[in-house]
Every structure is written in C-alpha cells, then in structure tokens.
Amino acid sequence: MRRWNGWGDDTVDFEVPQAASKYLAKLIGPAAPPNIISLEEMMAMVPASRLPMHPLLNTDPEERIRHCFGQSMSDWIYFRGGLVPIFPDGVAFPESDKDVREILGFAKEIAARVIPYGGGTSVVGHLTVPKGEQSVITVDMRRMNKLLELDKQGCLATFQAGVRGPDLEAALRAEGFTLGHYPQSFELSTLGGWVVTRSAGHFSMGYGRIERLFVGGEMETPVGTVKIPAFPASAAGPDLRELIMGSEGRLGIVTKCTVKVTALPEAEIFSAAFFPGREESVTAARALAQAGIPLSMIRLSLPEETSTTLSLKDGWQMDLLYRWLAWHGIKEQRTMLLYGAAGTRKKVNWALRRVKEIIKKHHGVYVGTSVGKHWYKSRFKLPYIRNNLWDLGYAVDTLETAVPWNQVPVTRKAIEEGLRNALIGVNEKVHVFTHLSHVYPHGTSLYITYIFRLADSPSETMLRWQTLKKAASEAIVRTGATITHQHGVGIDHQPYLAAEKGALGMEMISSLCHTLDPEGMMNPGKLVK
Amino acid sequence: MRRWNGWGDDTVDFEVPQAASKYLAKLIGPAAPPNIISLEEMMAMVPASRLPMHPLLNTDPEERIRHCFGQSMSDWIYFRGGLVPIFPDGVAFPESDKDVREILGFAKEIAARVIPYGGGTSVVGHLTVPKGEQSVITVDMRRMNKLLELDKQGCLATFQAGVRGPDLEAALRAEGFTLGHYPQSFELSTLGGWVVTRSAGHFSMGYGRIERLFVGGEMETPVGTVKIPAFPASAAGPDLRELIMGSEGRLGIVTKCTVKVTALPEAEIFSAAFFPGREESVTAARALAQAGIPLSMIRLSLPEETSTTLSLKDGWQMDLLYRWLAWHGIKEQRTMLLYGAAGTRKKVNWALRRVKEIIKKHHGVYVGTSVGKHWYKSRFKLPYIRNNLWDLGYAVDTLETAVPWNQVPVTRKAIEEGLRNALIGVNEKVHVFTHLSHVYPHGTSLYITYIFRLADSPSETMLRWQTLKKAASEAIVRTGATITHQHGVGIDHQPYLAAEKGALGMEMISSLCHTLDPEGMMNPGKLVK
C-alpha cells in the first residue's frame, strides 16, 4: 500500500548500506533516529469536516490525511514530525468530466476551495491546504485513468488525465507504442500532473519534455470547459496549451490529454563513461548536446555526486573500477556520465559510435553498459532512500534549475555554497552534490541534492530546511537562473517567481487566473498569490 | 528598390513561361492585362496626416503609402486596383528601445493607435490600418537590426527585433553559425515579425519553427517592458514566450530576441523523388516524418501542384524525365517529394540512405539532387510570379492549415473543392493545387495555392477573393483544422479563430491584451476584436 508518510509503496525499502551511512557520518556527523508519529496519532489531529454532504465527497479522516500532503520537505516534517497541518475537508474521486464539473459547481455554490490531486508527488507544495474560513475539497483524479483513443497512424493517444505512469505505458505498450515520459515520480504521478507542472522525464532529450508531448486536451474551469484541439502545429495566435501547462491547478482541472506517442524502439541502450574532472566533463556534455546526435538521455554526475553514488556500492568490482580509472588518470575528481539512445538498431549504433568519439576527445573513458543498465533498472528505487535516511536521522532534499552553458559554474557554485554554509549558525554541516539531469544545445539543468541532520524537534528541523531552501533559492535568483527546471512553482518557489517573470509577467498570469477563476477558488496560494 | 505595389525588389522579375500561361488559359480561361494604378495616382489619394509633429515621426505621403499594405490579396486589390485604403498618419523608425518607448508614450498621450511593422510581408492583413477617429502610427522596425550578443559556447544570439533574414544570417554566418529559419518571406521579413506571427521556415523540420528558436527577449508595451530570460527550459508556470509568440502586435512591440543558433552544417543536401500517386506519397511522407530521421525538410507536391510546377519548365530534359518516370509506372498522377538534410557529412549520408529505403518501400523513384538543387537556388524567386501573373490578368493566392494525418484527405478535399466551386455563380473557374510544406510525426500542414482571373473592376475582384477565402476558411473550420499553420491570424483569419480557441480561449487572449494594453491602442482589430 502507498505510504501515508513517505515515498512510494510500503513494501519497498532502500536500505542504506553501512558504507554510505559511515560516509555521511564522516561528512556531516552521526545522526540519531528521530521520533516518527503514527497514522493513529495523526488521525487524532483531524478536525471535523466543514463540508455539507455530497455523494461525490469522502470525508473519512484517513483519506483527508492521505490527501493532505505532497512530498516536499515541508510535507515530510509535518507527517513525520507530527506538526499539525491543515487538512482538506473532503476528498472527491470523480470518474468523468461530468463529475468534475459537478464538483466544481458544488464548490462554487458553497464557496469552497478546490485542490486538484494527481499522484500526490509534488515536491514544492502544490497540494498544501490553505488556511482560512472556506472549506477545502481535494479532487483526486485516480479514477479517471482510461485510454480514450489511440490513433496509431497519426501517433496520437488521448487519455483521461488521472492515468498514472505505469498504467499509461502499459496501455500504450500493449499496442506497440510508448510515450517515453519518465519523470522520477513516474510510478506514482499522473499525466495531468505532468502537464500542469511542466514535467521533464529521464528521456526528455529524445522524446521531449511534456511540453512537446502534450498536444491538446480539455480542462474544466469554474467558468466552463477549455478545449485545445490537437494540431501538429499552428500559428493561430498565442498557444493556449502553454497556459494550461504550468497552471498548477490555478485555472481548473485538466481532464483529458492528447499526447504524441512513438512506436516502441527496436533498441534501447544505456552506457556510461567517466571523466577526470568537472570542467572536462561539462564541456563534453555540452559538446554531446550540441552535436545533434539522436540520444534519449545525457546525465552527468559531478565529482561530489559521483563519490556519493559510488559510496552506496562496494565490493571487489568497485575496487577494480577505481584502479582501472586511476590507470587512465581518472582519480578523486572523477565524474560519471550516463547516456542512452533509443530507436532503430542502426540509428542507436550510429549514435553510440558518435558519442564514443566525443567522449574520447574530451579525455573520458567509456566503461560499457553495465553501469547504465544498473541505473536503468533501479532508477525508480532511488527516491525510497529518503524514507530510510530519515529513519537514520538524515533529511535529504533536492532542488533544480536551468541556465545557459556559460552560467553553469557561477550558478552551481552559488547554490552549492549557499547550501553548504546555510547552517553554520547552528553548527551543522550540509552535504551537497549536483548532477546535470537534462542537457540542451543552449544550456543545462542543474540538479542539486543536499543532506542535513534532523534537529531534535520538528519545528527546529523546519527552520533548518527553510534556511537551506532560502539560501539556495536566493542563489538561483541572484545568478539569473530559473527557479525551477522541472519541479514547478507551488508554494515553495512562489516567492521567487516574480524575479524571472517580472511584475508585468506576474500580472499576465494573474489576469488569466481571474478570467477562468473569478472567485479565486482554484488551488489558492500556488504559483501566484 | 522595394516594390510599393507588389512582391519584392523591382529589379527582380519572374517571367511566366508561355507554356505556363497556355496551361492556365486552358484550365481557367485566357486573361486580359488589368489596369494598374501608379504611385502618383495613389499619392493623390493620401489625405493630410492627423498627427502632431514629433521628431520620430515621418508623415511623408510616400512613406505612408509604403506602410499601408502587407501582401494579402486584399492589399493587392487595393494597391494594384486603386481602391482607396486607410493610410497611417505617420511612420516612425525607432533606433533603440528608448525610441520605441518614446513612440508608445507619445501615442498614448495623443490617443493614437500603433501598428508594428517588420518586413511588411504579412499575407493576412496584420498591417491594415483601422478606420476611426484616432490617428494611426505605423512603427517600422528596420533600423533596429543589430546583433547585440553572440554566445558561441552556448549557441545563443541576441538581435534587435527589426533585423531582416539576410542580415541576420550574414551576421551569424560570419561567426560560423546559422539560425536556419527560412520562411518564404525570408529576404524581406524580420526576426520580430517571425516571433509575433509564429513563423515556420523551409527547414523547420531540422531547426524548428520560430517557437523552438526564440528563447527570450524584450517587448515594450503600453504599460511597461516585458522581459523574458533565455533559459534552456523551465517549469516556472505558464510560458510567457508563448504569449508573445502569436501576439501579432496586440500586446506591444518586440524589440529584442534571443535565439538558438547552430554551428554551420558541414554538409547540406537536397534531393527529390517522384511517386505514382497521392495516397502512396502521403503515406511515404508520414513514414519519413515518423522514422525519426534527422532531416531538415520534407515537401510533398500533390498531383495538381506537381503538374503545375512542371508546366513552368519545358525542353528535352523534361521529356526525358517524364519518359523515365513513366517507365517506372509514374504517370499523370505523379507527385514530387523534395527533401533535405544538414549536419555532419556522416549524419547527412546516414539520413539520406534511410530516406531512400523508405522511398523505395513506398514505390517512389529517387531522381537525384538536381531538382532539389534547383528548388534550393530559386526558392525565394517563386513569389515574384505573383507580380507577373497579375500583369497577365491572374490573381494567385495561398492559404494553409495543419491537421493530424488521418484528417488529411477530408480537409484537403474540402478546401480544394470549396475553392474550385466558389466562383461557379459568376461562371469562373479556379485552379487549385496543394503541397505538404511541413510534416510532423503526428500530422502535416497543407499548403494550398489557388489562381483565378481578375474581374473587370477591383471591387468585383475583391468580391471574388472574399468568396474564395470564405469558402476555404469555412472548409478548414468545418473539418476541425487550424485556421493557420504559418501565416498568422491578422484580420483575414480573425472571424475563424474562435472556432479553434473556443469562447473561453478568446477571453483568455483578450484578458492578456487588456492587461498589457488597457486602452486598446496596439494594432486593433487583429487577432481578436
């Protein structure tokens, strides 16, 4: 069953290897297992619902708890530490567009607020329930999960928006197709969620971010239905798809999505290479991105992340790898590049040959496909380590941005140093490491992970996290980077959005909210105030 | 010098070959040269300007005539037939962002309306001056044509928005780069114009439409400056770039554009193939688009266009070609596929080999590179034929749409038949032919050319054109296609926009206009009413 207070299914665990916990203890100090409250304790905190009865509403306390949180660090401190959150007053599980319209109509009638809920995996507070006198309905889209239409000839599929990653892929694969969209949350998150948060997947380099995959659909809003026809391209004025994408529940509830699909690739390969240091490898990643090679993925772990990742493994194979790399001049500052290609066998082979040439030119060492295969197989297991690290007393959080290539060193350094030094005041160290998760010809994302020790009390842990998040966000804004490349805005990034959108840009977004949601009932407080 | 009343430079002509005029006469009847008014006659129509003096304004009658028109058929009937248009009261030629702000401020002060003007090549009435008591200033951006910054490492270039195609490419090529954006209007049109009309170029299959090339910039609006930072990607809410693109002068004046550039390709090749008929070749084009081959272009002329194009040529080479094709079973219903690839020599060769396999599989016959080379060399000359056909008494116009693959037959047939039968009431025939100008994995554009005879009077010709345009636009809307794939909305497509945007979509666009232009001074009547 889905964990109510952590990542993923409760039958899956990611045991922290002893080597890794030793490594962490050495870096930021030993930790003590925290007190973790139980579901029963949380149940006792749930107040009576303020909602009148309605056949589509469930006001069961456990459902209200289970729809109270996403996966932001703030959510974790609430559900693990036992801070008292604001609960939604009820949860709706619509099965049709008509149900969604019914819920929106009812909410309007009783002046309730509405929070759309996909897979519940937001890491930036999209699902946080606002304080206030108005009751709150969370709308869980899980039952709207059908494949409605598949145009095989035209490579277009229309799904209900609540379909989760694995169900979507299963439906397509049965017919010989794939969407190719694999955000880290893939196993839990939904198509509609990907659309409204501008999701990027592991293989977005090949298949495109959700922006390139989502071609049309429908959104129910408080003032009616917005329909976007699925044209291959159009010059008919501003593109309304691009307003729905990134709308984060502020404009309405996306009910249907038409997406581009691709015939299943004949071949799919993942390989790895190591480089002697940071600069060479970033230059190599840039060269690869600009070479126009049809790759599905480039992922570059910088030295600190490479060391941390390798600390999760041990054994004679690792010794052998280290010695082999050292023999090639690749030592402590080593960086690890993972890359993938998918398509016809011929195309994949051609692409991989070209990549090897570029790796060699930049003093990298190709190490074959076993590291890549291992990453591919275990890639959705990694987030589970958050549960187990917390149990040991460590909090792990991630954040991300994107910048043009020439800005990579400045922004990366500012964020990493901001995080590393943020808790000096309380004498705490922070372990920070970075990878490039998505590279483009004209820039790259920077994906930063940071680990810190839990404090004695949840409110003190919250203070630590807020201090860290503020330091990183300010570094992002100060160096002119985007506040988010793939996680979205929510409430965590909301204070920093105006820095990149500008005052007029914020007004443009607000005016759209006002047009489709004049009463401000949709997911208030997220994206824009 | 630029023609005031036709396409392009007045030193360039496209003589209609006798074979072609005979072909036309046979198809839709012989034509008689029309009366064409002179610049002097038009000068006599220009009323006094209603503008107060301002150092940035030019109220010279010839400038006002030269900025009165675009290249829509309606514009042609005015400037060639001598109907009296509404003239702008003055023309501004800003040299800086400050000048643009100054002009907008002045216009606001005197309650004037403002029409942004790039290359003056709009074919849908973007530049038409509205009737009314308010004076009108047309802002010609030609002097804002500088390359401001080139980030070679990051493949990003920032230009002032008034730079024309050839100047932009010259500046980039001098540094080893290209934008790769070649709309049919390339020689005259501007970067800012491409952005605000969502332009597509000949090689958009490889380099991307302007939507993929434009990554950031600045727009001056009546309420201030909108700045869009050039991130490689972002999940920070709705994408404001996508509101500026397609805004058609309604929100403000784009002054600066940062675009993705690419290192000049090592090799660039154009080839051609013929197919025995319509269906096989559309299927082949689809297969090519879906095969993920790195091509820069696929352009498929359907039977009627192939015959028309070939009628422009004669001689023994053509006889040879026909005989050779016939020997392969390719006869009257022949279709012509042009395709191109650019990149490293290896990549191009690999791509071309793959294309040949697919052509063969679909019963096409590869005919080498000479047809492709000829097309490439003369591709910007073709629109000049509009001048010469008019001189003979024929009007030629184009329109375009885009649809998912399964809708191609229905939409194409509806448009072609709509046009062919539109003038039955006045006993006139219309010659109609189509090509697929841009193909995508999940659909294609349809580009339709139609030729009809001028009537005895310009107002009668206008009626003919309006009847034709209405028939085609209604066919597009009725079959659920987009009203424009690359030309934009302007005034010609405005009545049909709501069919695809919906009432709420139109409100969303209007609310953006109202936010940035509360007085409605920017290019009124275009895009939305």
Do B86 and B129 form a contact (C-beta atoms < 8 A)? Answer: yes
Distance of CA B29 to the CA centre of its chain: 28
CB atoms within 10 A of CB B132: 11
Q: How far is A276 from chain B (nearest CA, A)?
A: 21
| Cα separation values, A140 from A64, A192, A429, Å | 11, 11, 39
CA distance A505 to B151: 26
User: Strand B136-140 relative to strand B113-117: parallel, antiparallel, unpaired?
Assistant: parallel
Q: What is the DSSP track for A123-179? A: SS-TTPPPPSSS-EEEEE-TT---EEEEETTTTEEEEETT-BHHHHHHHHHTTTEE-
Q: Residue B248: which pLDDT band, with cuts at 50, 70 and 90?
A: very high
Q: What are phi and psi of A121, to 5 degrees?
A: -105, 5
Q: What is the largest CA-CA distance in chain A?
A: 72
B303 and B237 co-located in one domain: no
Residues in chain B, total: 529
CA distance A489 to A505: 15
CB atoms within 10 A of CB B457: 14
Looking at A83, A117, A140, which one is the last position of a domain?
A140
**Does A197 touch chain B if contact means CB atoms closer than 8 Å?**
yes
Q: Residue A318: which pLDDT band, with cuts at 50, 70 and 90?
A: confident
Region of A248 (left: φ > 0; alpha: ψ -120 to 50; beta: rest) is left
A368 and A339 co-located in one domain: yes
Q: Please report whether residue A73 resides in a domain.
A: yes
Q: Do A482 and B234 touch (CB under 8 A)?
A: yes
**What is the per-residue pLDDT for B270?**
97
**What is the per-residue pLDDT for B253?**
98
Residues in A closer than 8 angstroms to B526, CB to CB, are none
**Does A411 touch chain B if contact means CB atoms closer than 8 Å?**
no
**What is the per-residue pLDDT for B420?**
98
Q: Which residue reads 């917390």 in tokens?
A: A390
CA distance B165 to B172: 11
Total tally of structural domains belonging to chain B = 3
Q: Do B347 and A292 touch (CB under 8 A)?
A: yes
Q: Please report whether residue A506 resides in a domain.
A: no
B234 and B218 co-located in one domain: yes
Identify the DSSP state of B463.
H
**Does A507 touch chain B if contact means CB atoms closer than 8 Å?**
yes
Q: Do B512 and A511 touch (CB under 8 A)?
A: yes
Contacts of A19 (CB under 8 A, 6+ apart): A311, A312, A313, A314
A418-449 tens-digit pLDDT:
999 999 999 999 999 999 999 999 999 999 99
Q: Is the predicted pLDDT of residue A314 greater than 90, yes or no?
A: no
B112-129 tens-digit pLDDT:
999 999 999 999 999 999
CA distance A154 to A175: 14
User: Strand A365-366 relative to strand A262-263: parallel, antiparallel, unpaired?
Assistant: unpaired
Do A407 and A446 form a contact (C-beta atoms < 8 A)? Answer: no
Contacts of A133 (CB under 8 A, 6+ apart): none
Q: Do A404 and B156 touch (CB under 8 A)?
A: yes
Q: What is the largest CA-CA distance in chain B?
A: 72
**What is the rounded average pLDDT of the residues A276-295?**
96
Do A364 and A170 form a contact (C-beta atoms < 8 A)? Answer: no
Question: Residue type at A84?
Answer: V
A95-136 tens-digit pLDDT:
999 999 999 999 999 999 999 999 999 999 999 999 999 999
Q: Do B442 and A198 touch (CB under 8 A)?
A: no
**What is the per-residue pLDDT for A21?**
92
Q: Please, what's the b/e burial string for B411-437 (b: 16 or more CB within 10 A of its CB; e: otherwise)?
A: bbebbbebbbebbeeeebebbbbbbbb
- Is A382 labelled a binding residue? no
CA distance A206 to A268: 11
Do A263 and A342 form a contact (C-beta atoms < 8 A)? Answer: no
**What is the per-residue pLDDT for A19?**
87
Would you state the structure tokens that stand for residue B507, as one six-digit string?
């409100």
Do A378 and A3 form a contact (C-beta atoms < 8 A)? Answer: no
Please report, for the domain that includes residue A231, its CATH number: 3.30.465.10
CB-nearest to A343 from B228, B292, B442 is B292
Domain range holding B357? Answer: 267-376
B460-495 tens-digit pLDDT:
999 999 999 999 999 999 999 999 999 999 999 999
B100 and B180 co-located in one domain: no
Q: Please report whether residue B473 resides in a domain.
A: no
Taking only residues 454 to 483 of chain A, the set having a beta carbon closer than 8 angstroms to any beta carbon of chain B reads 480-483
Q: How far is B81 from chain A (nearest CA, A)?
A: 30
| Cα separation values, A240 from A32, B211, B502, Å | 51, 14, 11
Question: Residue type at B412?
Answer: R
**What is the rounded average pLDDT of the residues B195-221?**
97
Would you state the structure tokens that stand for residue B298, as one six-digit string?
């696929």
Looking at A140, A173, A199, which one is the last position of a domain?
A140
Residues in B closer than 8 angstroms to A501, CB to CB, are 236-237, 240
Question: For chain B, how far is it from start to end, CA to CA, in angstroms?
Answer: 35
**What is the per-residue pLDDT for A369?**
94
**Does B408 touch chain A if contact means CB atoms closer than 8 Å?**
no
**What is the per-residue pLDDT for B316?**
79
**Residue A174 vs residue B529, higher pLDDT:** A174
Nearest CA in chain A to B514: A511
B252 and B288 co-located in one domain: no
A197-253 tens-digit pLDDT:
999 999 999 999 999 999 999 999 999 999 999 999 999 999 999 999 999 999 999
Residues in chain A, total: 529
Looking at B332, B348, B376, which one is the last position of a domain?
B376
B22-67 tens-digit pLDDT:
999 999 999 999 999 999 999 999 999 999 999 999 999 999 999 9
CB-nearest to A233 from B197, B248, B485 is B485
Q: Please report whether residue A59 resides in a domain.
A: yes
**What is the per-residue pLDDT for A311?**
81
Question: For chain A, how far is it from start to end, CA to CA, in angstroms?
Answer: 35
Q: Do A442 and B155 touch (CB under 8 A)?
A: yes
Identify from A240, A282, A347, A489 which residue to disrupt to test chain B contact, counting B C-beta atoms within 10 A and taking the largest count.
A240
Closest CA to B448 of B425, B430, B429, B426: B430
Do A350 and B344 form a contact (C-beta atoms < 8 A)? Answer: no
B153 and B133 co-located in one domain: no
CB atoms within 10 A of CB A375: 19
Please report, for the domain that includes residue A317, its CATH number: 3.30.70.3450
User: Strand B297-301 relative to strand B335-343: parallel, antiparallel, unpaired?
Assistant: antiparallel
Strand partners for B9? B2
Q: Do A153 and B246 touch (CB under 8 A)?
A: no
B203 and B234 co-located in one domain: yes
Q: Which of B182, B207, B394, B447 is catalytic?
A: B447
CA distance A378 to A189: 18
Q: Please report whether residue B194 resides in a domain.
A: yes
**What is the per-residue pLDDT for B312?**
78
Q: Please report whether residue B281 resides in a domain.
A: yes
Q: Which residue reads 């590179």 in tokens?
A: B369
Distance of CA A505 to the CA centre of its chain: 24
Closest CA to A154 of B363, B209, B337, B403: B403
**Does A506 touch chain B if contact means CB atoms closer than 8 Å?**
no
CA distance B181 to B208: 8
Strand partners for A365? A274
Q: Is the predicted pLDDT of residue A313 greater than 90, yes or no?
A: no
Strand partners for A259? A157, A214
Would you state the structure tokens that stand for residue B80, as one six-digit string?
């060639």
Do B218 and B498 form a contact (C-beta atoms < 8 A)? Answer: no
Contacts of B518 (CB under 8 A, 6+ apart): B222, B223
Q: Look at the pTM and tell me if it is higher than 0.80.
A: yes
Q: Which residue reads 């107002």 in tokens?
A: B459
Q: Residue A367: which pLDDT band, with cuts at 50, 70 and 90?
A: very high
Q: Do B500 and A294 touch (CB under 8 A)?
A: no
Catalytic residue positions of A, numbered: 447
3-state SS class at B146: coil
Q: Please report whether residue B56 resides in a domain.
A: yes
**What is the per-residue pLDDT for B235?**
98
| Cα separation values, A104 from A186, A223, A249, A256, B24, Å | 28, 9, 12, 16, 60
Residues in A closer than 8 angstroms to B235, CB to CB, are 197-200, 246, 482, 484-489
Alpha helices in A202-315 (DSSP H): 204-207, 210-213, 241-244, 278-290, 303-311
**What is the per-residue pLDDT for B394?**
98
Alpha helices in B362-434 (DSSP H): 370-378, 385-392, 408-421
A59 and A109 co-located in one domain: yes
Q: Residue A321: which pLDDT band, with cuts at 50, 70 and 90?
A: confident
Q: Please report whether residue B200 resides in a domain.
A: yes
- Is A252 labelled a binding residue? yes
**Does B225 touch chain A if contact means CB atoms closer than 8 Å?**
yes
A239 and A278 co-located in one domain: no
**What is the rounded average pLDDT of the residues B386-415?**
98
Nearest CA in chain A to B289: A154
Q: Do B404 and A440 touch (CB under 8 A)?
A: no
Q: Is B447 a catalytic residue?
A: yes
B518-528 tens-digit pLDDT:
999 999 999 99
B187 and B84 co-located in one domain: no
CA distance A238 to B42: 36
CA distance B154 to B149: 11
A91 and A165 co-located in one domain: no
Q: How far is B335 from chain A (nearest CA, A)?
A: 21
CB-nearest to B239 from A215, A246, A488 is A246
Please report, for the domain that includes residue B103, its CATH number: 3.30.43.10
Nearest CA in chain B to A227: B502
Contacts of B424 (CB under 8 A, 6+ apart): none
Identify from B184, B197, B211, B242 which residue to disrupt to test chain A contact, counting A C-beta atoms within 10 A and taking the largest count.
B242
**What is the per-residue pLDDT for B435?**
98
**What is the per-residue pLDDT for B60?**
97
CB atoms within 10 A of CB B232: 23
CA distance B161 to B163: 6
Q: What are phi and psi of A183, to 5 degrees?
A: -65, 165
| Cα separation values, A384 from A11, A13, A184, A300, Å | 11, 6, 11, 21
Residues in B closer than 8 angstroms to A504, CB to CB, are 221, 223-226, 515-516
B300 and B355 co-located in one domain: yes
